[in-house]
Chains A and B, each alone.
Chain A
Amino acid sequence: MRAELQRVLFVGFLAAFSPWTLATFAQQPEVPVKVVQIMGLTGVKNKTGGKLTVDGGNLHFVHGAAKVDVATASMEDVVTGADSQRIIHGTLGSIGLMAAPYGSGRFLSLFRSKLDTLTVKYRDADGGLHGVIFMMPVGKAEVIKKELLAQGAHTTAPEEAANAGASSPAAKEQKQ
């Protein structure tokens, strides 16, 4: 009986802390993400702080009593700051940039390295194209982007190079 209980606990422990389960938990932004809306959101002033969530096919930006929703289906392009760097410099270039201190040639990065950006292009009811820029802590943009894509948004950024980065010569060298 005791051995069986131990076995159940062991299997439960393995299931709870398996990489698959952890990855699934990591991709769920249950907690609203603190962001700064740099510009572009209709009815919201530039550089307004607020909280961002993705739920029910909408991106919600909440600032005090004000709430703005953007339908994920209307999003034509969702790009993170890391995507931009990858498009411009390539995967190896992005890795080099991550290692470089701010101001040592990072001329195209608009924000400091401890902050990430999420740029969303979407259409309004009349077909007008809008662009919104959010600034948030590093790592959050990728999570929100994945959530938006899962709920019907689109992106023009090439497939995430995380895997490519892992198999790049630089990454291999670090592993050895």
Chain B
Amino acid sequence: MTHSHIAFSRSITVQPDTSQLYEVRRFVESVAADATLDSERTFDLMVAVSEACANAVEHSGSPGLPVKVKAACRGGRLVIQICDYGGFRLPSTANGFQRDHRGLGLPLMVALMDEVRIAKLSGGGTKVTLSVKLPAPALC
């Protein structure tokens, strides 16, 4: 049996507000199911994407520019890109509770994903690329 390269690509765009994370996770859950990830890897991906989006929301400022989340199945991996279009800013306006525990997001992304890349977009903004290897036989 040969496996064709069923590369799908889907995306959603959300407002830069942490109240949107719930909706982003439903999107991740849906693409993870399409890519045949098990429940453990789906959870990992939901956490990693939420962390990236929470950072993106912080960069987006107020009134914020939207955050785009794009999922693609390619090369035996499910790859998710999170793009914000704000300038990178050090978190200074966070409330006390948020300020106390900065910096857990990136270590969690690295611990949970097979690959994490962070790039600065030329027009301003940040692109985080997260990827997980698909179980064999991979869909794409």
Whether chain B is bound by chain A comes out as: no
Chain B residues near A (Cβ < 8 Å): none
